[in-house]
Amino acid sequence: MAEQTSPERATPERIIIDTDPGVDDSMAILLALASPEVQVEGLTIVFGNSDNVRMLARNACVVLELAQRPEIPVAVGAANPLVRPYHGRGASVHGANGLGDIPVPEPSKQPVEQPAAQFIVEQCRAHPGQITLVTIGPLTNIALALRLEPELPRLARRLVMMGGAVTVPGNVNPVAEANVHNDPEAARLVFHAGWPITMAGLDVTTRVRMDDPYLESLRDLGNRAGRFIYDITRFYIRAYRERGHPNMAVHDSSALVSIIRPELFQSKPVTVDVETVGELTRGQTIGDWRGQYGRPPQTELLLDVDAKAFRALYRERIATLP
């Protein structure tokens, strides 16, 4: 797999997480905060699981305060897709408040004034080649950052994303995954930008499931983080069961684990493009395995994962949080 981050790597990979928290987003952010292999430079907020980005930013601040990391900046970004109006249905899976409708304390932490796209550009300009953009929501903020700074693909280290579905059906419709479907035009700009992309699509994220006994084991760790994860997943796992799944997928954490433990994954290089027009296929991520588009592969597509080791790592890291 590309860009192996070997366990003995001395320095953590510096990351900005672009997120729509979100139950599985919050789980992924907590994993990042508990993992010495990454250094979280900031959280940037994008619509997706809700279009109330102030609420999503509040959720991000809640998670940072829960982990006792209030120093990490939160920058608020796009509340709408680039072209078409927001049509997401995140509340049916993440709850109206984005955190499984549990009571949420008002955090003392507030977002910074700087908009997300500017925050991303300024951080990458200040630390050329050092910052990895980790996207676990629609790609609108990244597209806006590319418009601000066309050199971004050369200023960022790489892009690691949760989104898309190349070899498996979509979750919004037969071909499209939610993060890409929420803004296909943004996704197309990102896939054409010229940077190396690691893609944790549904191809791999649906292979990591968490059931109630596992979530109870997080609750029984006895720390606030484990209890919080158990509490916010009550609504989320119920939503999965109502859709015929016995347990839940934790999509966003796969993007982070692919940085923390790349050796847990199987992947293949492929050229990926995004459908933005098709009545039935808008938001589809298409894998060009035979070079028919005439462009070299820009994407390391994650295809399989050691799910047992993933869950063991996840619990081990959450146990280290307050």
Give me the DSSP letters along 287-298.
Answer: EETT-TTS----
- By CB under 6 A, is residue 251 in contact with ligand RIB? yes
CB 210 within 8 A of CB 216: no
Q: What are phi and psi of 239, to 5 degrees?
A: -60, -40
Q: How far is the CB of 205 from ligand RIB (least distance, A)?
A: 7
Stretch near ligand RIB under the rule CB under 6 A, chosen from 16-24, 54-62, 269-277, 314-322: 16-24
Annotation marks residue 245 as catalytic: no
Going by DSSP bridges, is the β-strand pair 265-274/299-305 parallel, antiparallel, or unpaired?
Answer: antiparallel
- By CB under 6 A, is residue 20 in contact with ligand RIB? yes
- By CB under 6 A, is residue 273 in contact with ligand RIB? no
Q: How far is the CB of 290 from ligand RIB (least distance, A)?
A: 27
Q: How far apart are CA 158 and CA 142, in angstroms?
A: 12
Residues in the chain: 322
Determine if the peptide bond prior to 22 is cis (ω within 30°): yes
- By CB under 5 A, is residue 25 in contact with Ca ion? yes
Q: How far is the CB of 41 from Ca ion (least distance, A)?
A: 19
- By CB under 6 A, is residue 37 in contact with ligand RIB? no
Q: Binding marks (x or -) toward ligand RIB, 149..188, rule CB under 6 A? A: -------------x--------x-----xxx---------
- By CB under 6 A, is residue 35 in contact with ligand RIB? no
- By CB under 6 A, is residue 141 in contact with ligand RIB? no
Q: How far apart are CA 73 and CA 295, in angstroms?
A: 37
Among 137, 153, 226, 287, binds ligand RIB (CB under 6 A): 137
CB 211 within 8 A of CB 247: yes
Annotation marks residue 251 as catalytic: yes
Among 42, 48, 153, 297, binds ligand RIB (CB under 6 A): 48
The helix (run of H) or strand (run of E) holding residue 165 is none
Q: How far is the CB of 133 from Ca ion (least distance, A)?
A: 14
Catalytic residue chosen out of the listed positions 24, 181, 251, 252:
251
> Which residue spans within 63-139 are E strands per DSSP?
74-76, 131-135
Those residues whose C-beta lies under 8 Å from the C-beta of residue 164, and which sit 6 or more positions away, are 177, 179, 180, 187, 199, 201, 202, 272, 274, 285
- By CB under 5 A, is residue 121 in contact with Ca ion? no
Q: How far apart are CA 31 and CA 207, in angstroms?
A: 18
- By CB under 6 A, is residue 98 in contact with ligand RIB? no
Contacts with Ca ion by CB under 5 A lie at 20, 22, 25, 136-137, 252
Contacts with ligand RIB by CB under 6 A lie at 20, 22, 24-25, 48-49, 136-137, 162, 171, 177-179, 251-252
Any idea which residues carry the catalytic annotation?
20, 251
